[in-house]
A and B are shown apart, each in its own frame.
Chain A
């Protein structure tokens, strides 16, 4: 697996990442820095979704649940048990991954729309449970719709940029290794023809589970970081189905199952939302709807996907 163009693409990616790592020292505007951090956060989230659903074609409609679990783990660990941020962050990733393991085993057997609906149902169930747990059992743990206020960090956007950036970097870098490993071929084989892959000796269930758990781990980290950044979380916010939809649409716009798809899609959609959202508040969602419909109809493989087909590239 020694392809020259692949190495070049990777080198360009690494150089740009290295340059981005120094960004906070040059960007003086807090607004701009925050916007960049948000774009990078969304690139990471879309990447997590792409890792599982983009490569395998199993449409996960509930990735937000691991984001939400991450947020809640960090919030509860910090406020109820006084654990510092970084250990709580690790705990958040771990709890998300373990949950994904136990949820993945039964749900990954389902196919097509059934998998999509099951993951969606799990995410909504978790949202309702965190909302209603305290009231139903008369305790104070998740604090329901009142939400949890985290300790004010006192850190500025630069700190959070440096929290988000490495995680996103790892997520995208993982895509490179996925595409250049037996594991990645296994994932792609599941998308093309699952039964045939199984007959050829690919342990499809294990591979799907690995991708699902990995993606959940990173989603948990992102959820935890964002919770500490915003300092106030409620179930309706962190388990919001809108987040799932955004991850899906970004990946789709960029190109499912591609290396740079989530990067391009997330950057494109976040920036366009920022541009349209501030100027045309009233028409913003209508336009997003129209963009989605047009993109699906004229460019079903996404920006990077279309490029990949046109230029006959094996990897981008």
Chain B
């Protein structure tokens, strides 16, 4: 295997890890509530900003601020679901798209108002540091994000499978009426689910903050990538985010290496479109099909 190809694949896998980290929450929210959350990117933005400000004021390392981002976004997500999105559950899907799009506009623009449109970066002692193995470069920050992505996917799976709340969430996703009859407080479960999705998304935002450009307007493009990742892996199928993220990451990295960066974006959307048409349940075929 030649070095260029090997490096492209490594880059793709690391990129895929980043994608997985921030797409898992999107998949969870869709899987349980059928809500396509167009404000997803804003959750990442808020996570990244939490870590930015903690770094700016207290010189707190971005990885140490991750738990704060998680708690903050859990509360944010819980309240948003409880007071806003819960009101349109059961109505046609379009309502949730438009509602979350309204949220996207509000959150992004309030953030611009508060923090200006400046691009910000966090420069730590290990920024830009690489591990060189067999002539291949592996940036530490991305490697850590990759590991976090694996932990998040595993943790989410563990939570859903092994805890009482997780069981209630799964039951609600399968049949909310029956779950209600079994004594599950649906609205509360929805709020917890959104909070959980927001928390892991905020966590990934914080973990990504050492190597991405942070700005109030960063959200939308992340939302779009999360879309692609989740469709590739299968909507609502949790481990799918990992598969989708890695496949998309490698595909984009190969396209960027052998064609050009712009073509890799075109390929993303072509893959997304073709995938939906020929295999809407995702690569593994385990996603939900409406």
Contact = CB atoms under 8 A, between A and B. Distances in A.
A125 B88 CA distance: 31
B110 A113 contact: no
Given A117-B231, A118-B273, A121-B276, A131 B105 contact: no
Interface in B249-263: 259-260, 262-263
Contacts of A252: 94, 98
B220 to A, nearest CB: 8
A122 B290 CA distance: 20
Contacts of B272: 117-118, 121, 125
Nearest to A290: B106
B60 interface: no
A135 B262 CA distance: 9
B58 to A, nearest CB: 29
A114 B273 contact: no
A41 B106 CA distance: 26
Interface in B72-120: 84, 87-88, 91-95, 97-99, 101-110, 113
Given A113-B235, A292-B105, A297-B84, A135 B260 contact: yes
Contact of A293 (B91, B103, B270, B290): B103
Contacts of A285: 105, 108-109
A57 B280 contact: no
A298 to B, nearest CB: 10
B98 A292 contact: yes
A106 interface: yes
A296 B106 CA distance: 14
Contacts of A131: 262, 266
B265 A113 contact: no
Interface string A43-60: 000000000000001010
Contacts of A291: 102
Contacts of B227: 117, 120
Contact of A111 (B30, B91, B110, B290): B290
A275 interface: no
Given A113-B290, A117-B227, A118-B276, A59 B91 contact: no
Interface string A79-122: 00000000000000000000000000011011111101110111
Interface in B261-281: 262-263, 265-266, 269-270, 272-273, 276-277, 280
Interface string A35-75: 00000000000000000000001010100000000000000
Given A118-B277, A121-B276, A286 B105 contact: yes
A297 B34 contact: no
Given A136-B260, A285-B105, A300-B88, A110 B113 contact: no
Size class of the B contact interface (CB-based, 8 Å)? 35 or more
Contacts of A288: 105
A283 B260 CA distance: 38
Contact of B262 (A114, A118, A128, A289): A128
Contact of A106 (B91, B93, B277): B277
A285 B84 CA distance: 19
B259 A136 contact: yes
A59 B97 contact: yes
Interface in B197-247: 224, 227-228, 231, 235
Contacts of A122: 269, 273
Nearest to A103: B273
B273 A121 contact: yes
Given A135-B262, A136-B259, A113 B106 contact: no
B98 A114 contact: no
Interface of A: 57, 59, 61, 106-107, 109-114, 116-118, 120-122, 124-125, 128-129, 131-132, 135-136, 245, 248-249, 252, 256, 282-283, 285-286, 288-293, 296-297, 300
Q: Which 10 A-B pairs have the closest CB atoms?
A: A289-B105, A292-B102, A289-B106, A128-B266, A125-B269, A112-B290, A132-B262, A293-B102, A121-B272, A118-B276
Interface of B: 30, 34, 36, 84, 87-88, 91-95, 97-99, 101-110, 113, 224, 227-228, 231, 235, 259-260, 262-263, 265-266, 269-270, 272-273, 276-277, 280, 289-290
Given A113-B36, A113-B235, A121-B269, 13 more contacts: A113-B30, A116-B36, A117-B227, A117-B276, A121-B272, A131-B266, A286-B106, A289-B107, A290-B102, A291-B102, A293-B99, A293-B102, A297-B84
18 contacts: A59-B94, A116-B36, A117-B272, A117-B276, A118-B277, A121-B269, A125-B269, A132-B266, A252-B94, A286-B113, A289-B106, A296-B95, A296-B98, A296-B99, A297-B84, A297-B87, A297-B88, A300-B88
